[in-house]
């Protein structure tokens, strides 16, 4: 057990970065923006914020982060994606741009802007496994249309899958960083701590 809190990065090339940094700091970890591969290399885990996945995809390529994030995910780094971040963690995207890239890692198919075709944004109460009932905000949100056998469904809204976990990866179609409720971030940090303990990780630099 390390007394040093984990260092959790927030991918800071686009999207609602400050909100995630604030929520992570509030739950007691060291939170840092990640814009460059050398900044990625020193974090224990990564949050991929909401925003616009097509822009995030393009900037991840331009910033030289696409392959480094893919590699860290493949080698077990915990990651949490909200909304556009969920799309970035998906193996397959429907209604994306043809050249849109993702980091992948979660064996799922997401449909971009799926709820947004009906209504741009809405709130719901979502019963999340391991968290409880949460007020959830959806903004041009994706939903999950397919999950592979290794993926646990953690929650649904309007009958659609909106929260999943596969190993050390967590994704939600909603934005817990916008409601001031810290339980989702706490849940992710628990996962980060247990992944670190399992790997014998220390967080000294
Ligand atoms: N519709 C956005 C996308 O495709 C996601 C919206 C969000 O993150 N609020 O990336």
Q: Which residues are catalytic?
A: 83, 175, 177
Confidence bin at 204 (pLDDT 50/70/90): very low
For atom 5 of ligand 1, the residue with the nearest CA is 84
Q: Which pLDDT tens digit goes with each residue over 91-145?
A: 999 999 999 999 999 999 999 999 876 678 999 999 999 999 999 999 999 999 9
Ligand 1 probe mutation, 16, 49, 51, most atoms within 8 A of CB: 51
Taking the model in full, what pTM does it have? 0.94
Residue 118: predicted pLDDT: 62
What is the 50 CA–ligand 1 centroid distance (Å)? 6
Q: How distant, in Å, are the alpha carbons of 6, 106, 186, 196, 203 from that of 1? A: 11, 28, 18, 9, 10
Q: Which pair of structure tokens corresponds to residue 123? A: 């709130």
Q: Which pLDDT tens digit goes with each residue over 171-188?
A: 999 999 999 999 999 999
Q: Which helix (H) or strand (E) holds 70?
A: helix 66-74
Distance CA 193, CA 5 (A): 9
For atom 2 of ligand 1, the residue with the nearest CA is 52
Token look-up 């939170």 returns 31
Domains and CATH numbers, the chain: 7-198 (3.40.50.880)
Q: Which pair of structure tokens corresponds to residue 188? A: 């992710």
What is the 201 CA–ligand 1 centroid distance (Å)? 33
Distance CA 118, CA 71 (A): 36
Q: Which pLDDT tens digit goes with each residue over 17-58?
A: 999 999 999 999 999 999 999 999 999 999 999 999 999 999
């Amino acid at each position: 057990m390390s007394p040093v809190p984990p260092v959790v990065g927030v991918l800071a090339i686009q999207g609602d970065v400050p909100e995630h940094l604030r929520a992570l700091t509030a739950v007691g970890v060291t939170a840092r923006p990640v814009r460059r591969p050398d900044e990625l290399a020193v974090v224990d885990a990564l949050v991929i914020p909401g925003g616009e996945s097509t822009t995030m995809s393009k900037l991840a390529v331009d910033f030289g982060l696409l392959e480094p994030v893919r590699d860290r995910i493949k080698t077990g780094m915990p990651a949490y994606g909200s909304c556009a971040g969920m799309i970035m963690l998906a193996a397959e995207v429907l209604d994306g741009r043809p050249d849109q890239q993702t980091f992948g890692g979660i064996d799922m198919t997401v449909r971009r802007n799926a709820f947004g075709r009906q209504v741009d944004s809405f709130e719901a109460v979502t019963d999340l496994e391991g968290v409880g009932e949460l007020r959830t905000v959806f903004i041009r949100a994706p939903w999950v249309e397919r999950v592979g056998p290794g993926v646990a469904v953690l929650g649904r809204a309007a009958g659609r899958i909106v929260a999943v976990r596969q190993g050390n990866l967590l994704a939600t179609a909603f934005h817990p960083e916008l409601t001031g409720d810290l339980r989702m971030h706490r849940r992710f940090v628990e996962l980060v701590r247990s992944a670190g303990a399992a790997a014998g990780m220390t967080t000294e630099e």
